[in-house]
Structure 1
Amino acid sequence: MPSAPRLTLRPYAPADAGAVLSLVNADRLPGQPVATPQALREALAGRSPVDGGWWAELDPPATHVAVGPDGTVLGVVSRALRPKDATGLILWLHCREDPRTADALVGGALAALGPRPVEAFQLATALTRGLEALPRAHREATHEALERAGFHGEPQWRYLLIDLPAPDLPRAARVRTVPEPGDSHARRLEVRRGEAAAEAEAVIGLPVEGAGALWWIGVRPPSRRRGIGRALLGSALDALGAHGARQAFLYVETNTGRGGEDDRTAATALYRSAGFREVDTLHSYTRPAPPPGRQLPLPSRAAASVATS
């Protein structure tokens, strides 16, 4: 059987922008905006409107593309080093979920980062709207390439989506909408009685390409179990619809402390009963540093298929 054509990893060049954007947008989840040239420039520079403080802790990222024998760009991977703890990061990776290319990209990034702990898909990038981790079901080849390389994945978020309008939800009384400090594309909704502290609050992100974001919703403990959260959810979705949203998405943490303050069981049940559907579960990955004198595995196909230049 003839061997598969050899892939080459080389540094990203400005002429690769169109091909890389095509790869990124091939992985776009419902509700997420199309990645633009400006978003790509921000990601290449190591900037993001979400998780910006964590990005500031990193050295400038290095981005490489995987190309076939004819020079076609088949994949892209961006990596960086966090100096404060000498941890490497695989920031983002796209390859149209081709297993061989995924192996090559992961293997190339690990070879460049060297024998150190490495994290993958831990931060939101400028290429998405707050998507902090890898959508496991939509990115099966990437997930499997990471596992072959010795990474361990943990679910962090559920990505939920709803079509608008949502007419069956109640609406809250006494809702005040105010700007969200520091974010011109967000609004805060508050349920108040006079000048007292808000009983409940929600933060929405105004729609982009017809999809709005529900960034946060919370009800103060004395006001819980009275239906205020469900009513405020209805009002928040109405507000997004008034700004032209046809869909709304949200992220809810996977359950990490059943019964405690970080328990998201009730929130998840509320969203599902309101009509949100789960699009995917978002995973982040870690790979420990190899013990002294021992090399952790690279994906099995990477060494045979990648030449680094």
Structure 2
Amino acid sequence: MAIPTFGQATPLSVRPYQAGDEVAVLDLVAADPLPGQPPTTPAMLAEALAGRSPVDGGWWAELDPPVTDVVHDSRGQVLGVVSYATRPGDGAGFLLWLHCREDTAVANTLIAHTLDRLGRRTVHAFEFASALTHGLEGLPARHRPVTRRALEGAGFTSRDLWRYMRVPLPVSGLSNAAHVTVDECEDPPGKRLEVREDGQLAAEATIGRPVTGTGVLWWISVVPAARGRDLGLALLGSALDLLTGLGAREAILYVDDGPVGDPEHDRTAANGMYDRAGFTEVDRLHSFTRRP
């Protein structure tokens, strides 16, 4: 299908993804580098094309098989890619992932094509983490400004939901929690750390196995009765030391600190703890919704 676009000498065309597009699509993904994210491999791309992901796998299982299409020019050069699907349970559509080298015309073409294919229904974009990334649950708004503007220009409403942070390893100056037990964890794959006091769980953390030198802190929490004495910070020190021992050279994490004033997502204490540990914010992750 040929689509006329502004700013292009010739119309762009859209067609289904083919096996021979793998290298071009991997190059498109690599053109959106984000600190702390490992390079996307052919195996990761294959999982994303199949509609599977090691993170948010339950959400992906609720979707119909995804459709992936590419945009190309008159010479056949692949300029962009988009993957989308529908959810039978509620009829919603999902723009799952999109890469376009932050070219406005290509982004607009991909989004318009996706909306045309999904039809008149509520459509969510960048709602789940795909297998292309290491748990990136949203669009990094500062690193992908063209894609964000194209979505909003197409009628999507943006929701700022996650703080994405990273720190080089090892981290010095942090204490370690006493009496930490470490066990294997399968979902997500990695290690689970626990601190128990008087036989009761006081704090816990989950880390992911490092990938190309990057480890993930998936979860850390302290029960209310044990708060106020830096147990969380000490457990964070233990988790980061464990990641370092497993070969990680940096650690990343995601904080779901939604809109200010939302008591359910008040992460003031958590953000303060990560700042004290030396984490810096890489970007804010946005999800999007467009209603018919």
TM-score tier by shorter-chain length is over 0.9
SS in structure 2 of the partner of residue 187 of structure 1: strand
SS in structure 2 of the partner of residue 198 of structure 1: strand
Within a 5 Å distance, the mapping from 1:281-292 to structure 2 comes to 281-289=284-292
Structure 1's 170 and 2: CA in aligned 2 closer, same or farther, altered over 3 A? closer
Structure 1's 166 and 147: CA in aligned 2 closer, same or farther, altered over 3 A? same
Q: Distance in 2 between matches of 1:2 and 1:55?
A: 36
State the 1:12 CA deviation: 0.4
Within a 5 Å distance, the mapping from 1:16-31 to structure 2 comes to 16-31=21-36
**In 2, are the aligned partners of 1:203 and 1:216 still within 8 Å (CA)?**
yes
**In 2, are the aligned partners of 1:50 and 1:130 still within 8 Å (CA)?**
yes
Find the counterpart in structure 2 of residue 163 from structure 1: 168
Find the counterpart in structure 1 of residue 101 from structure 2: 96
User: Do structure 1's residue 129 and structure 2's residue 120 form an aligned pair?
Assistant: no
TM-score normalised by L of structure 2 = 0.94
Find the counterpart in structure 2 of residue 118 from structure 1: 123
User: Do structure 1's residue 191 and structure 2's residue 195 form an aligned pair?
Assistant: yes
**In 2, are the aligned partners of 1:255 and 1:265 still within 8 Å (CA)?**
no
Aligned pair partner of 2:209 in 198, 206, 209: 206
State the 1:5 CA deviation: 2.4
Q: Distance in 2 between matches of 1:262 and 1:141?
A: 28
Structure 1's 110 and 216: CA in aligned 2 closer, same or farther, altered over 3 A? same
| Higher relative contact order, structure no. (Cα contacts within 8 Å, ≥ 6 residues apart) | 1
Aligned pair partner of 1:243 in 227, 243, 246: 246
State the 1:173 CA deviation: 1.3
SS in structure 1 of the partner of residue 200 of structure 2: coil
SS in structure 1 of the partner of residue 174 of structure 2: coil
State the 1:278 CA deviation: 0.3
**In 1, are the aligned partners of 2:92 and 2:122 still within 8 Å (CA)?**
yes
**In 1, are the aligned partners of 2:160 and 2:259 still within 8 Å (CA)?**
no
Give the number of equivalent residue pairs: 287
Aligned pair partner of 2:88 in 83, 88, 94: 83
Q: Distance in 1 between matches of 2:148 and 2:264?
A: 30
User: Do structure 1's residue 276 and structure 2's residue 272 form an aligned pair?
Assistant: no
> Structure 2: which amino acid aligns with 1:263?
D
State the 1:181 CA deviation: 4.0
State the 1:55 CA deviation: 0.9
The 10-residue stretch of structure 1 (117-126 or 3-12) with the greater mean CA deviation from structure 2: 3-12
Aligned pair partner of 2:113 in 108, 114, 117: 108
TM-score normalised by L of structure 1 = 0.89
Please, which runs of 5 or more residues in structure 1 have no aligned partner?
290-309
State the 1:127 CA deviation: 0.6
Q: Distance in 2 between matches of 1:202 and 1:214?
A: 8
User: Do structure 1's residue 232 and structure 2's residue 235 form an aligned pair?
Assistant: yes
State the 1:256 CA deviation: 4.2
Please, which runs of 5 or more residues in structure 2 have no aligned partner?
1-5
State the 1:279 CA deviation: 0.3
State the 1:2 CA deviation: 8.7
State the 1:259 CA deviation: 7.6
Q: Distance in 2 between matches of 1:37 and 1:200?
A: 38
SS in structure 1 of the partner of residue 201 of structure 2: coil
Find the counterpart in structure 2 of residue 11 from structure 1: 16
